[in-house]
Amino acid sequence: MSVAMYHIHIKTDKVNEVKTALIGWLQDKHGREPIILSNQDSPLSFFDYDIPTQFTLCHLHKEWVTVLHDSYEQLVELTSTLSSRFHTLVIHTLGQSTVDTYHLNIFQEGKLLRKFDVGEGYEGIEQYGEPLSFEKETANNSVVLAEEDSNFFDYQDMKEYCLYFGLDILVDPSEKDGLWEVIKVQKDPAHVAHKTSLIQKIFLRGSKKR
């Protein structure tokens, strides 16, 4: 089974305010107003762009607004801004099982608390931030990150980690088909970004750091 994640999870019930923020962000980045489509299904073309051209959002989980995007970037600026604007927790999960590359970014009120990167271009599990309280409990054998030299970290580990926040990141977005709201920028044929293959450019993996 192939698993792809391209989700931003915002702990808030303010779905309309999140939509407004995303509309403004797309308009600022692309210089034109996006269109909005209601009562849509979840599928979208993912991992196509560095700067997202489309967001799809709804309440996929209780107490959370989930945003799907068509970018392969980690979108640190956007997730930090959303976390700060709504004074809340934002969890960004980005990964593709076919290339075993995963990123997990956790923000609280605009501050990056925890970050994990593993896969193509990384040496083992690269971490940022102090371990959170539940990571220090030795009884939690299911929590990721046992040893620093461990190279294993996949979507199941990400799920176990995020469950400590009450968030199951592997819920299928199709469970809410017909309820998603789509925000997208109409593509300008003269300025369509060149698509690099997923394997070559997956999440701008650590190549920039070398």
pLDDT digits (tens, 9 = 90+) for 106-127: 999 999 999 999 987 888 889 9
The confidence score (pLDDT) of residue 201 equals: 57
Query: Which backbone phi and psi does 85 adopt, to 5 degrees?
Result: -65, -40
The confidence score (pLDDT) of residue 203 equals: 53
The confidence score (pLDDT) of residue 205 equals: 52
For the stretch 137-144, contacts whose Cβ atoms lie closer than 8 Å and that sit 24 or more positions apart, written own/partner, are: 144/116
pLDDT digits (tens, 9 = 90+) for 155-172: 999 999 999 999 999 999
Per-residue pLDDT at 178 exceeds 60? yes
Does the CA dihedral 190-192-193-198 come out positive or negative? Answer: negative
Cβ atoms of 20 and 106 within 8 Å: the answer is: no
pLDDT grade, residue 194 (50/70/90)?
Answer: very low
- Residue 64 forms beta bridges with which residues? 61
User: How many domains does the chain contain in total?
Assistant: 1
Query: Which backbone phi and psi does 127 adopt, to 5 degrees?
Result: -125, 155
Domain that holds residue 136: 4-209
